[in-house]
Amino acid sequence: MPVTDLFDELEHVLPLVSKPIQYVGGELNAVVKDWDDVAVRWALMYPDAYEVGAPNQGVQILYEVLNERADTLCERTYAVWPDMEALMRERRIPAFTVDAHRPVSEFDLLGVSFATELGYTNLLTTLDLAGIERRAVDRESEPLVIAGGHAAFNPEPIADFIDAAVLGDGEEAVLAITDVMAAWKSEGSPGGRAEILLRLAKQCSVYVPGFYDVEYLPDGRIRRVVPNRPGVPWRVAKYTVSDLDEWPYPKAPLVPLAETVHERASVEIFRGCTRGCRFCQAGMITRPVRERSVTTVAEVVTNSVQRTGFEEVGLLSLSSADHSEISEIARGLADQFEGSNTSLSLPSTRVDAFNIELANELSRNGRRSGLTFAPEGGSERIRRVINKMVSEEDLIRTVAAAYAAGWRQVKLYFMCGLPTETDEDVLQIARLAREVIRTGREVSGRRDIRCTVSIGGFVPKPHTPFQWAAQLGADDTDARLAKLRAEIRSDREVGRSIGFRYHDGKPGVVEGLLSRGDRRVGRIIEQAWLDGGRLDGWSEHFSYDRWMAAAERALADEPVDVDWYTTRERGEEEVLPWDHLDSGLDRQWLWDDWQDALDEVEVEDCRWTPCFDCGVCDQMGTEIQTGPTGAVLVPVPPLPLMAEVAARR
């Protein structure tokens, strides 16, 4: 459909849908370039609704990085709501970008950033609306579909639907891909789609699933994953930006016209984590720690406030108070914005890294919102298992200081279903919450103290020590949380002061299926989508029964089922679907840490102690080969750093 016709159709459709503003575009700091003035055209997709995707910093950073190039155009697209999808199908309106309302199918590349696996069906909806073949093997002239984000560290469940995947930091990756695409197009696009994908695989550390064959053992386990053409690496390395000060993005953050989940400017102050929480995929795959300097943080914050008008700035990282110069950062920014309407926040704070002086600096302008801490486990024992080195004394001391300093609301985040967890471990959450309330009342002399307990279901993730763990089933999760709710409510004195929030265990089962699945799970995703699966991250659209029915049909002829993927513990010798994708972490180190977890052995933060040889710093990997008893893993030479790859290129 020509762009002018698309504009006309949208003018007639938008008054008929909910929240039409999300499809309009024209946000402050958005970029629209002339189509014919560039060599390479990217469409970036966050596979969720606009209100969730628009604030996503990863997409915003890549949007700026690409549009800074004179030869490149980049626009954005998001998942559409069911009412909009229905009208688009009825009136044959293709999937479009919000920036210039151009058809997604006309771009060279469609980059999809997956923060969670529950966005997979949204990708299929967009491909279908765009007129792009659902399966990569059937595509000819359509855009290359490239997955990124944390979920791309195991893209096997969507291997049939994507052309490629990029692991790790995206800033350098998208520029390298753009260079190769521009050169290939300038040569007249020789060799077609297969040639450009081969160039990306060889030159840019891009994973192309079609260049790898997966062989299975009779019992359903993977025998090996092997390249099917010369020059394709056995293992694909991740990208790591070594100096964040060289990438001070976003320089001009987008200001959405519609209400979004985060109404603030977000500034990343460091990337990576070495705390070693065994459940945390983000902390593992983003190693090593790389901090932004105090000066650069101040510059990015100042620029963000001036270019957006936001009245809140979030200082982001996996644990922002762990920045080695966080006191200087907070004090400097508090001085700068004192007396203004601009507030500062640390959305992610560890109990043992928090202090009242820091909190007071951040709330100097008088705004004092609730504090959120994440002990993760209710008992000291389970916190040793997950390597969350936070004692009950640490937590009580911290919340006591907060309540004494004037805070009235504290939120505590825990997980249910952790490895080796018992009912008693979970019930300890109630006792801990009651102690928090009693301590708050004692130190503040007030009765209006509140504590909210928020529970999330544990999902084992790839590239973590818990990647071998069994996942707790939905019924067992719900039963355990029902006992916790009853225990909290049983104390009439403080029970009413404790809020309790949790999601049932069913979405976690589907997330677990998708996070540790192999290529056979792609059939389940496709069937669930054909059966109406959309926006599965939203409770009102998610259907557990639909997913289970899809799995039963898709795996009818396989020796595996949903429980095989979720509630089954893996052995050390088993080849995991993502073993050929290198997160930088040594597989043996992960296994040893899993054994330490079972033995309830804690491991210190390696930033301040001797190296534990996780593998990130030396880039040592493993290669999948086949021995007389099946699949085995053997060491291979160190993989080159991305800087060296770039230099050779």
- Give SS3 for 14: helix
Give the burial class of 545: count Cβ atoms within 10 A of its Cβ; 0-12 exposed, 13-18 middle, 19 or more buried.
exposed
Where residue 2 falls among pLDDT bands split at 50, 70, 90?
A: low
For 339-371, the pLDDT digits (tens) are: 888 888 887 677 877 777 787 787 776 566 668
Distance, in Å, from the CA atom of 351 to the CA atom of 403, rounded to the nearest integer, reads 14
Is the whole model's pTM more than 0.75, yes or no? Answer: yes
pLDDT of residue 534: 97
Evaluate whether 207 touches 164 at the Cβ level (below 8 Å). yes
Does residue 625 surpass a pLDDT of 80? no
Quick: pLDDT tens for 277-303.
Answer: 999 999 999 999 999 999 999 999 999
3-state secondary structure of 290: strand
SS3 643: helix
Which tokens go with 546? Answer: 């639909």
Task: List the beta bridge partners of residue 270.
Answer: 291
pLDDT tens digit string along 406-439? Answer: 888 899 999 999 999 999 999 999 999 999 999 9
Taking the C-alpha atoms of residue 320 and residue 344, their distance in angstroms, rounded to an integer, is 12
Question: Within 10 Å of residue 389's Cβ, how many Cβ atoms?
Answer: 18
Write out pLDDT tens, residues 99-119: 999 999 999 999 999 999 999
HSE-up of residue 117 (Cα within 13 Å, Cβ side): 28
Rounded mean pLDDT, 516-522: 98
Domains and CATH numbers, the chain: 3-214 (3.40.50.280)
The radius of gyration computed from the CA coordinates of the chain, to the nearest angstrom, equals 25
Check residue 192 and give left, alpha or beta (phi > 0: left; psi -120 to 50: alpha). left
Burial of 248 (0-12, 13-18, 19+ CB in 10 A): middle
The token duo for 189 is 């696009």
Residue type, 514: L
Cβ burial 352-370 (10 Å sphere, 16+ → b, else e): bbbeeebbebbbbbeebee
Residue 238 token pair: 């991740």
CA-wise closest residue to 639 among 104, 63, 115, 167:
167
What's the token pair of residue 208?
């192309």
d(CA 641, CA 445): 57
Q: What is the mean pLDDT of the chain?
A: 91
> What pLDDT, on the 0 to 100 scale, is given for residue 1?
60
Between 137 and 623, where is the model more confident?
Answer: 137
